[in-house]
């Protein structure tokens, strides 16, 4: 196996990828509305937000004029108004997941707290958007319109409660709702008591969407309910959270005890036998809300990783300039730290992670846009058939499982094997298409939140370490230290990593998802045959290994004969979820690069230099796939073997050879002696036990797995050459003279 690319110098990256390239990769090249909001958000981020950070605006927990001022900028730039529908004078019609993703990306490029402050309004409204009545939607959208002037409302979302109540586990609600007054003719009045913990935007909130449980036999179950500042009772914003991150957003522990009409129950209610039955439990609403809002958080960390590239390159290049001994024109002057391979390689790792995270995050928000549209269609269709509520929907969807799996196969067929009639028939059934989207989004939503923020935080640390001591100072260009710390919050709020892993461990075993996954694996091989440099083949092997491992763990038992793949067994399910995320992020990045390869030539701006850009981006893909494969291999091997008991010398000595025996056979089978360790045990005549833990493990029954492992090692071929090429590109690429936001 050789790598031809080393012989001739291939074209490489000339400038940092610009908007034109990103628009193609993240699929909004034809959305001028989105391109415009990107620009107006960017101006706010790199202008007032960056100035506030540079002035030390983050150095206090308190809500300040400077922080409040940012809301005005969001209002003017159309960021606040992005939530409004055209009926309320808004510029964007739903779905808006990609829209919010792009806004979050631009703000987080400079400061994630600014993004949080802006997005928390959307989060506050999200329960109403997802499950609210039309009246509630209209009312609060109109109230949130910046044009409402002094009467403009802003919201907070209050789920989390003081310990020991809601945290990761959202079922144990301390917040309560009771009937306060209920006259025969009038609407019931409810008394709502909710203490929140870590509630974002509490300084500016004039309404709160709160999760509460019934404390009254005349109210059934739990619900989410809207509380307003002017309601009768206590609206105490509470103490500010002494947080170390995202300081441009406000966070407080509010104490709310208010009397509100029952019409504030989100999604409405019915009354049966004198009992108020909310149409949606808090759990149902939260599920719908987080599915969407978490995706945006994943995009935030991705933005920060990509934002680190330019400042790090500039720092590296200029590191030794100005010193008496470093003359202009010398390599030390021109390249600075970029003379050192490790500086380059580590930056490539950060860049590759950022790319994969951005691809994964934007894939998620785009998919959710499709999901939102299709879900409405499906709900309408089911309603026509008289099917309402979650359970009926699930049953209807389950009924088309086979069709959905069939459709995956049909879509993949090419040429004569295609069955257009059957495919069109299945595509024509919204339920079938929805089931596919549902299976996919159930995995990639928690997946991108988990991987982007969790691993992203780790890589953010790498980014600042490349800046040396400067990295952990306030003066560090690009605010990298802030971004690192902030990433930890992104990994925590809207459900910390454990929550995402828990969800993945359930959804990734769904048969429709697994059918998709198998198809994606085949697709990656096809990609590899056309674009061998992308790392797609490496990834395909890792995908096969992951699937084999999952299937194995589903039936295997540990040394104590206990089932392995089991919900409480988070030591098995969680790492496997992590491994899947590595795969999915890499996969989406490769697909985005292919999109650029396909569509780039159509745009003359992108076409210029495209070959070099693609070479570089594909090299990044190769680096990332190799890294992902490594992680998958490590995790799978630990899980497959880690739960078996290691053989001990006092177990029966089957498979042991005497040393003399092996030496004799070496003449017949050269290399046997070297291989004997691991395949079978060689006992030395003069000592009963070799100096190790016990006889080496037998691989009987694991042949497929060991073959994957060996194959995957081979698949790494060329990945380091790709890294070398990408690293070299870092020394050549043109960057601007200065950062376009203050420090």
Partner 1 sequence: MSNGYHIVVCAGIVPDPLQTLEPVQTPQGWGLKNEMMLPAVLDPWASHALYEAANLAKNAPGSKVTLVSVAPKAKLQQVMMTLAQKVPFELVAADAPAGGFTDANDVAAVLAEAIQAIPDLDMANLLLFGGWESASRGAGATMQILGEMLGITEQFQGVDEITVTAEGKLQILERIEGGRHQVSECAGAPVVLGWATGNLPEPKNNPQVGMQNMRTVMPSLQKARPAALSGEDLNYAGIEVPKATRETRIEKNMSADEIAQEIVAWIKG
Ligand X SMILES: Cc1cc2nc3c(=O)[nH]c(=O)nc-3n(C[C@H](O)[C@H](O)[C@H](O)COP(=O)(O)OP(=O)(O)OC[C@H]3O[C@@H](n4cnc5c(N)ncnc54)[C@H](O)[C@@H]3O)c2cc1C
- The contact set with partner 1 (CB under 8 A) reads 14-15, 18-20, 32-33, 35-40, 43, 54, 76-78, 81, 91, 475, 603-606, 608-609, 734-738, 740, 743
- The binder of 691, among partner 1, ligand X, none, by C-beta within 5 to 8 A per type, is none
- The binder of 681, among partner 1, ligand X, none, by C-beta within 5 to 8 A per type, is none
> Nearest approach, Cβ of 33 to partner 1 (angstroms)?
7
End-to-end Cα separation, the chain, in angstroms = 48
* DSSP assignment of 473-508: STT-TT-HHHHHHHHHHHTTTTS-HHHHHHHHHHHT
Output 13 or 508, the one with its CB closest to partner 1.
Answer: 13
- The binder of 438, among ligand X, partner 1, none, by C-beta within 5 to 8 A per type, is none
198 interacts with ligand X by CB under 6 A = yes
> Nearest approach, Cβ of 35 to partner 1 (angstroms)?
4
Print the binding letters for residues 146-165 with ligand X: x by CB under 6 A, - otherwise: ----------xxxxx-----
3-state helix/strand/coil string of 332-390: HHHHHHHHCHHHHHHHHHHHHHHHHHHHHHHHHHHHHHHHHHHHHHHHHHHHHCCCCHH
337 interacts with ligand X by CB under 6 A = no
Residue showing tokens 């992680």: 631
> Nearest approach, Cβ of 197 to ligand X (angstroms)?
7
- The binder of 169, among partner 1, ligand X, none, by C-beta within 5 to 8 A per type, is ligand X
> Nearest approach, Cβ of 82 to partner 1 (angstroms)?
8
d(CA 81, CA 120): 13
Q: Answer for the pair 37, 118: CB distance below 8 angstroms, yes or no.
A: no
d(CA 235, CA 249): 20
> Nearest approach, Cβ of 740 to partner 1 (angstroms)?
6
199 interacts with ligand X by CB under 6 A = yes
Q: What is the number of other CB atoms lying within 10 angstroms of the CB of residue 604?
A: 8
- The binder of 653, among partner 1, ligand X, none, by C-beta within 5 to 8 A per type, is none
Q: What is the number of other CB atoms lying within 10 angstroms of the CB of residue 242?
A: 7
d(CA 18, CA 39): 13
Output 37 or 309, the one with its CB closest to partner 1.
Answer: 37
d(CA 91, CA 712): 49
Task: Tell me the residue number closest to ligand X, measured at CB.
Answer: 167
> Nearest approach, Cβ of 97 to ligand X (angstroms)?
19
Output 456 or 495, the one with its CB closest to ligand X.
Answer: 495
Output 521 or 573, the one with its CB closest to ligand X.
Answer: 573
Print the binding letters for residues 483-522 with ligand X: x by CB under 6 A, - otherwise: ------x--xxxxx-x---x--------------------
* DSSP assignment of 31-55: -HHHHHHHHHHHHHIIIIIHHHHHT
> Nearest approach, Cβ of 193 to partner 1 (angstroms)?
41
Q: Answer for the pair 537, 528: CB distance below 8 angstroms, yes or no.
A: yes
> Nearest approach, Cβ of 741 to ligand X (angstroms)?
23
Output 309 or 542, the one with its CB closest to partner 1.
Answer: 309
Query: To which H or E segment does residue 683 belong?
Result: strand 681-683
234 interacts with ligand X by CB under 6 A = no
Q: Parallel, antiparallel, or unpaired: how do β-strands 222-228 and 189-195 relate? A: unpaired
> Nearest approach, Cβ of 91 to partner 1 (angstroms)?
6
Q: Residue 598 class from Cβ within 10 Å (0-12 exposed, 13-18 middle, 19+ buried)?
A: exposed
126 interacts with ligand X by CB under 6 A = no
Output 298 or 311, the one with its CB closest to ligand X.
Answer: 298
- The binder of 157, among partner 1, ligand X, none, by C-beta within 5 to 8 A per type, is ligand X
d(CA 387, CA 392): 6
113 interacts with ligand X by CB under 6 A = no
293 interacts with ligand X by CB under 6 A = no
> Nearest approach, Cβ of 234 to ligand X (angstroms)?
19
Output 103 or 542, the one with its CB closest to partner 1.
Answer: 103
> Nearest approach, Cβ of 206 to partner 1 (angstroms)?
24
Q: Answer for the pair 258, 318: CB distance below 8 angstroms, yes or no.
A: no
Angle between helices 97-108 and 282-307 (to 10 degrees): 40
Output 40 or 343, the one with its CB closest to partner 1.
Answer: 40
- The binder of 19, among ligand X, partner 1, none, by C-beta within 5 to 8 A per type, is partner 1
Q: Residue 331 class from Cβ within 10 Å (0-12 exposed, 13-18 middle, 19+ buried)?
A: exposed
Output 337 or 584, the one with its CB closest to partner 1.
Answer: 337
Piece in contact with ligand X (CB under 6 A), picked from 23-31, 243-251, 361-369, 379-387: 243-251
Rounded to 5°, the CA angle 254-260-265 comes to 90
Binding-site member from 243, 332, 345, 525 for ligand X (CB under 6 A): 243
Rounded to 5°, the CA angle 340-343-344 comes to 90
247 interacts with ligand X by CB under 6 A = no
Helix (H, G, I), strand (E, B) or coil at 181: strand
Q: Answer for the pair 173, 165: CB distance below 8 angstroms, yes or no.
A: yes
Q: Answer for the pair 210, 256: CB distance below 8 angstroms, yes or no.
A: yes
127 interacts with ligand X by CB under 6 A = no
624 interacts with ligand X by CB under 6 A = no
d(CA 115, CA 486): 11
> Nearest approach, Cβ of 455 to partner 1 (angstroms)?
30
Output 481 or 639, the one with its CB closest to partner 1.
Answer: 481
Output 52 or 260, the one with its CB closest to partner 1.
Answer: 52
Binding-site member from 167, 175, 254, 354 for ligand X (CB under 6 A): 167
Q: Answer for the pair 137, 83: CB distance below 8 angstroms, yes or no.
A: no
Give counts: helices (H), strands (E), the chain: 26, 12
Rg (CA), the chain: 28
Q: Answer for the pair 448, 360: CB distance below 8 angstroms, yes or no.
A: yes
> Nearest approach, Cβ of 613 to partner 1 (angstroms)?
8
455 interacts with ligand X by CB under 6 A = no
* DSSP assignment of 215-276: -STTB-SEEEEEEETTSEEEEEEEEEP--SS-TTS-EEEEEEEEEEEGGGBTT-EEEETTEE
- The binder of 159, among ligand X, partner 1, none, by C-beta within 5 to 8 A per type, is ligand X
- The binder of 76, among ligand X, partner 1, none, by C-beta within 5 to 8 A per type, is partner 1
539 interacts with ligand X by CB under 6 A = no
What residues are paired with 261 via a beta bridge?
189
> Nearest approach, Cβ of 245 to ligand X (angstroms)?
7
Binding residue count for ligand X, defined by CB under 6 A = 25
- The binder of 198, among partner 1, ligand X, none, by C-beta within 5 to 8 A per type, is ligand X
Q: Residues 500, 505, 509, 515: is their CA dihedral positive or negative?
A: positive
> Nearest approach, Cβ of 603 to partner 1 (angstroms)?
6
> Nearest approach, Cβ of 77 to ligand X (angstroms)?
23
> In the complex, which residues of this chain contact ligand X (CB under 6 A)?
120, 156-160, 167-169, 198-200, 241, 243, 246, 251, 489, 492-496, 498, 502, 570
């Amino acid at each position: 196996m050789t790598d031809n690319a080393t012989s001739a110098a291939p074209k490489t990256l000339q400038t940092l990828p610009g908007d034109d390239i990103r628009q193609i990769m993240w699929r909004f090249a034809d959305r001028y509305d989105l391109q415009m909001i990107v620009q107006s958000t960017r101006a706010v981020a790199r202008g007032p937000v960056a100035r506030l950070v540079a002035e030390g605006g983050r150095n206090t927990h308190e809500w300040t004029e400077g922080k409040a001022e940012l809301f005005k900028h969001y209002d003017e730039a159309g960021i606040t108004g992005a939530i409004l529908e055209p009926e309320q004078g808004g510029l964007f019609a739903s779905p808006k997941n990609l829209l919010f993703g792009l806004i979050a990306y631009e703000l987080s490029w400079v400061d994630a707290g600014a993004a949080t402050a802006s997005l928390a309004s959307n989060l506050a409204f999200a329960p109403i958007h997802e499950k609210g009545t039309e009246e509630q939607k209209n009312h609060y959208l109109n109230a949130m319109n910046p044009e409402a002037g002094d009467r403009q409302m802003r919201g907070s979302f209050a789920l989390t409660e003081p310990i020991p109540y809601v945290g990761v586990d959202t079922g144990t609600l301390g917040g309560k709702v009771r009937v306060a007054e209920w006259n025969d003719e009038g609407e019931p009045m409810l008394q709502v008591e909710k203490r929140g913990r870590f509630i974002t935007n509490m300084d500016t909130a004039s309404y709160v969407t709160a999760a509460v449980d019934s404390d009254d036999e005349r109210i059934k179950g739990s619900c989410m309910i809207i509380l307003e500042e002017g309601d009768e009772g206590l609206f105490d914003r509470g103490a500010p959270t002494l947080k170390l991150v995202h300081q441009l957003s406000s966070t407080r522990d509010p104490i709310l005890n208010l009397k509100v009409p029952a019409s504030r129950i989100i999604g409405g209610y019915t009354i049966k036998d004198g009992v108020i039955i909310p149409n949606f439990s808090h759990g149902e609403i939260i599920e719908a809300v987080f599915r969407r809002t978490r995706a945006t958080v994943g995009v935030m960390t991705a933005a920060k990783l990509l934002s680190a590239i330019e400042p790090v390159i500039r720092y590296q290049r200029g590191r030794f300039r100005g010193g008496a001994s470093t003359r202009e024109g010398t390599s030390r002057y021109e390249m600075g730290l970029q003379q050192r391979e490790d500086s380059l390689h580590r930056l490539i790792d950060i860049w590759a992670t950022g790319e994969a995270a951005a691809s994964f995050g934007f894939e998620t928000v785009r998919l959710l846009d499709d999901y939102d549209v299709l879900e409405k269609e499906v709900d309408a269709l089911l309603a026509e058939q008289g099917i309402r509520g979650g359970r009926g929907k699930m049953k209807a969807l389950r009924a088309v499982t086979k069709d959905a799996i069939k459709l995956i196969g049909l879509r993949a067929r090419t040429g004569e094997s295609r069955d257009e009639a059957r495919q069109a028939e299945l595509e024509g059934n919204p339920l079938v298409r929805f089931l596919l989207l549902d299976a996919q989004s159930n995995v990639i939503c928690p997946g991108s939140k988990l991987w982007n923020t969790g691993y992203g935080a780790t890589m953010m640390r790498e980014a600042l370490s490349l800046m040396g001591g400067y990295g952990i100072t306030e003066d560090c260009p690009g605010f990298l230290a802030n971004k690192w710390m902030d990433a930890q919050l992104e990994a925590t709020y809207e459900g910390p990593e454990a929550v995402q892993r828990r969800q993945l461990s359930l959804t990734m075993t769904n048969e429709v998802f697994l059918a998709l996954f198998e198809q994606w694996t085949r697709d990656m091989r096809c990609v590899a045959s056309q674009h061998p440099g992308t790392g797609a083949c490496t990834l395909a092997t890792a995908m096969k290994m992951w699937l084999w491992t999952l299937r194995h763990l589903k039936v295997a038992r540990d040394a104590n004969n206990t089932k392995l793949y089991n919900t409480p067994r988070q030591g098995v399910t969680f790492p496997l979820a992590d491994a899947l995320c590595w795969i999915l992020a890499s996969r989406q990045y490769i697909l985005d690069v292919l999109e650029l390869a396909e569509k780039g030539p159509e745009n003359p701006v992108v076409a210029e230099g495209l070959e070099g850009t693609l070479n570089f981006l594909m090299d990044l893909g190769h680096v990332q796939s190799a890294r992902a494969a490594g992680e998958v291999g490590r995790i799978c091997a630990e899980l497959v073997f880690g739960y078996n008991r290691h053989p001990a010398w006092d177990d029966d000595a089957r498979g042991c050879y005497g040393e003399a025996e092996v030496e004799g056979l070496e003449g017949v089978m050269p290399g046997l002696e070297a291989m004997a360790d691991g395949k079978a045990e060689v006992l030395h005549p003069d000592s009963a036990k070799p100096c190790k833990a016990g006889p080496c493990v037998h691989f009987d029954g694991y042949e497929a797995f060991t073959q994957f492992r060996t194959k995957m090692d081979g698949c790494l071929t060329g990945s380091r050459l790709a890294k070398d090429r990408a690293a070299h590109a870092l020394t050549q690429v043109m960057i601007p003279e200065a950062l376009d936001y203050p420090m």
